[in-house]
Chain A
Amino acid sequence: MEKAIEVKNLRKSFKSAAVLKGVDFDVKRGEIFALLGSNGAGKTTIIKILATLLKPDGGTAIVNGFDVAAHSEHVRQSISLTGQFAAVDEILTGRENLIMIAKLRHLKNPRQVADDLLKRFGLVDAADRRASTYSGGMRRRLDIAMSLIGKPQLIFLDEPTTGLDPEARIEVWNVVKELANSGTTVFLTTQYLEEAEQLADQIAILHEGRIIVSGTLEELKKLFPPAKVEYVEKQPSLEELFLALIGKKEAK
């Protein structure tokens, strides 16, 4: 079985408003797939359907070989969801959050799992503070760390960097790249072309309820008129400037 996700003619309406009007795409195992779309395009709706949180009105969605509507239990065994808004328990500490998820995944040694992830995500110092005291970037890292517990084959990341500062965004990017290197399939949504460019093997653009284009970055670029060559002095982007100032320019 080659495909991690197969979506055919997926449809979903809320009341009378049709959000998904026949969405088709495939995600191969082990790739990073970016679903690009503006705010309100229906990205979260697709993720919720694939993560068995929402029933589709029509069409089929197969995740890791199982139909999301008919075999939701099997789907849940092999996926992990990092929702659009960080789903951490604010009253618990970072460590307690991780241990809780490890226990719910019925792992042998929850404390050890938590320790390893705290180290890997640079949260050791904050491990025993309540998550409510974390910055946006730390919270997002904890959120993603919680999703990695139990080594799911497929991870959904819904706008993982929206609202993060540039530094935190790059940290998240590095985590995503690392994940893909370890063989996990990553399905992420984003509003930023640049993010898709940075991370994705495959990009699909969702617009007005349908996938209007999809392919690799190269393939997408071919759809546009060839770039004109112009001689201009290259100004550093705001992001490069910011990172240079805080001494993190190696991060790219």
Chain B
Amino acid sequence: MVTTKKHFFSDIRVMLGRSMRHITRSMDTIITVCITPIAMMLLFIYVLGGAIQAGTDNYVNYLLPGILLMAIASGIAYTAFRLFMDMQSGIFERFHSMPIARSAVLWGHVLTSLVSNAISVIVIILVALIMGFRSSAGIVSWLAVAGILALVTLALTWIAVIPGLTAKSIDGASAFSYPLIFLPFISSAFVPTDSMPTVVRAFAENQPVTSIVDAIRTLLSNQPVGSEIWIALAWCLGILIVAYLLAMLVYKRKAL
């Protein structure tokens, strides 16, 4: 008991180092994660942008928050994938038969997800800058944006842990992320919700993506934030706590 607790953080550091190596040795996963959102951004701006009435003179600014959420939603599928591969390879059993805190094994994957998604987010923001994204936000607003994105990543990653631990096949392990990737389409991410039919609009305005996207957009455009940021934070924390508890439950079942 005592020894595993004492080494908890150093064990997490070793686990983080391990899965970060997995990422740096397969940079293609980060590129894959970035490509679809960037393609979406190109499509919306250069093909559909002219026809969309977003009520803004800089559509890249409008679009970016939703695109970032899409990138994170597809990025976490790799966490599920890496967990699944670990379960398959037997390396989990080795770790679990060693005197290390079992949750350290999961936390290694979760922290890795935070780092790799941060890399994709930065890459996409750089591309957006080239495409005309401009922000007047100060350092505090940017830090708030980073905080929200980190919270979103954590919440979605803990969701990803569940299929990662329970899936029967590789495809099963990542299929869960498709609905998440498409959730931004029925939100204020690409077009304002006022233009949507009543039922869709009711869904769009009350699902987490809209409040998160609106909060980030407000922060980036340096406007005073209203209640949307609290709703966004409540969503993120709520999902994070529920997903964490569920994932831990599944993990305890799996790992004795």
Q: A: which residues have CB within 8 A of B?
A: 48, 51-55, 72-73, 76-77, 79-81, 83-92, 96, 100-101, 103-106, 146
| Cβ contact within 8 Å between A76 and B99 | yes
Do A87 and B93 contact each other (CB < 8 Å), given the known contacts A92-B21, A104-B100, A106-B7?
yes
A210 to chain B, nearest CB (A): 24
| Cβ contact within 8 Å between B90 and A83 | yes
Tell me the bound Cα distance from A54 to B4 in angstroms.
Answer: 20
Do A91 and B25 contact each other (CB < 8 Å), given the known contacts A83-B94, A85-B89, A146-B94?
yes
B253 to chain A, nearest CB (A): 11
Closest to B23 in A: A91
A–B pairs, 20, beta carbons within 8 Å: A51-B97, A52-B96, A52-B256, A53-B97, A53-B255, A73-B4, A76-B97, A76-B98, A77-B3, A81-B97, A83-B93, A85-B89, A87-B94, A90-B89, A91-B22, A91-B26, A92-B21, A100-B14, A103-B10, A106-B3
B225 CB-CB contact with A under 8 Å: no
Do A104 and B89 contact each other (CB < 8 Å), given the known contacts A52-B97, A53-B97, A72-B256?
no
Tell me the bound Cα distance from A83 to B87 in angstroms.
Answer: 13
| Cβ contact within 8 Å between A103 and B14 | yes
A16 to chain B, nearest CB (A): 19
For the side of the interface on B, what is the size category?
A: 20 to 34
B9 CB-CB contact with A under 8 Å: no
Tell me the bound Cα distance from A1 to B8 in angstroms.
Answer: 31
Tell me the bound Cα distance from A104 to B96 in angstroms.
Answer: 11
Q: Tell me the B15-30 residues at the A interface (CB within 8 Å).
A: 17-18, 21-22, 25-26
Tell me the bound Cα distance from A100 to B255 in angstroms.
Answer: 21
Among A54, A77, A79, A146, which residue has its beta carbon within 8 angstroms of that of B256? A54
Q: Map CB proximity to A onto B78-98 as digits: 1 under 8 Å, 0 otherwise.
A: 000000000001110111111
By Cβ-Cβ distance, the 3 closest A-B pairs, closest first, are A87-B90, A81-B97, A87-B94
Q: B: which residues have CB within 8 A of A?
A: 1, 3-4, 7, 10-11, 14, 17-18, 21-22, 25-26, 89-91, 93-100, 255-256
Do A92 and B18 contact each other (CB < 8 Å), given the known contacts A73-B1, A87-B89?
yes
Closest to A143 in B: B94
Among B1, B25, B95, which residue has its beta carbon within 8 angstroms of that of A104? B95
Closest to A82 in B: B94
Residues of A within 8 A of B91 (CB): 87-89
Residues of A within 8 A of B17 (CB): 100
Residues of A within 8 A of B3 (CB): 77, 106
| Cβ contact within 8 Å between A80 and B97 | yes
Additional pairs, 16, CB under 8 Å, beyond known A73-B99, A80-B98, A89-B18: A52-B96, A53-B93, A54-B256, A73-B4, A76-B98, A76-B99, A77-B3, A80-B97, A81-B93, A84-B90, A90-B89, A92-B18, A104-B11, A104-B98, A106-B3, A146-B94
Tell me the bound Cα distance from A85 to B255 in angstroms.
Answer: 18
Residues of A within 8 A of B93 (CB): 48, 51, 53, 81, 83, 87
Closest to B90 in A: A87
| Cβ contact within 8 Å between B96 and A53 | yes
B108 to chain A, nearest CB (A): 11
| Cβ contact within 8 Å between A86 and B90 | yes
| Cβ contact within 8 Å between B97 and A79 | yes
Residues of B within 8 A of A52 (CB): 96-97, 256
Residues of B within 8 A of A72 (CB): 256
Tell me the bound Cα distance from A84 to B89 in angstroms.
Answer: 10
Residues of A within 8 A of B7 (CB): 106
